[in-house]
Chain A
Amino acid sequence: MSKQRIMFSPVTRLSGLLSVEVMVEQGRVVEANASGTMFRGYEWIMRNRHVTDAVYLTQRICGICSLAHGAMASYLLDELFANELSENAQYLRNVMFGADFLQNHIRHFYLFSLPDFVRMPDSPPYHGQNLTDSRLNPEDNRRLVGNYFEAIKAGQHSHEILALFGGKAPHQHSLVHGGVAVAPTADKINRALALLDSINDFVTTRLMPDTELIARVYSDYFHIGVTPRRLLSFGLFKFGPHNEQDLWRGGVLNDNQFNAPRLELIKEEITSSWYATQADPGADTQELEPAPHKPGAYTWIKSVSYAGQPYETGPLARMIMNGFYQGGTSTMDRIYARSLETLLITRLMREWLLKLQPGPAPLKQNAEPVKNEVVVTTDAMRGALLHSARIANEQVERYNIITPTVWNFSPKDQHGWRGPVEYALVDTSIPRADMLFTILGRTVRSYDPCISCATHVLDARGNVQDKILL
Chain B
Amino acid sequence: MVASILVNGLVYSGVYAMLALGFGLVFGVGRVLNLAHTAFYMVAAYGIFYFASTGFGMPLAVVLTTLGIVAAGIAVYKLFIEPVREMEATVLIATLAVAVLLQELVLVFFGNEPRHVPPALSGFTQVVGVRVGNQEMVTLVVAALSLIGAWFLLSRTKLGLAIRAAAQDREVANLMGINVNQVTAIVMGLGLLLAALAGIAVAPLFTVEPGMWMNPLVIVLAAVVLGGLGSLKGSLIGAVILAFAEVSVVFLVPGGSYLRTAIALLIMVCVFFIRPEGLFGSSIAEER
| A and B interact | no
A residues bordering B, Cβ < 8 Å?
A: none
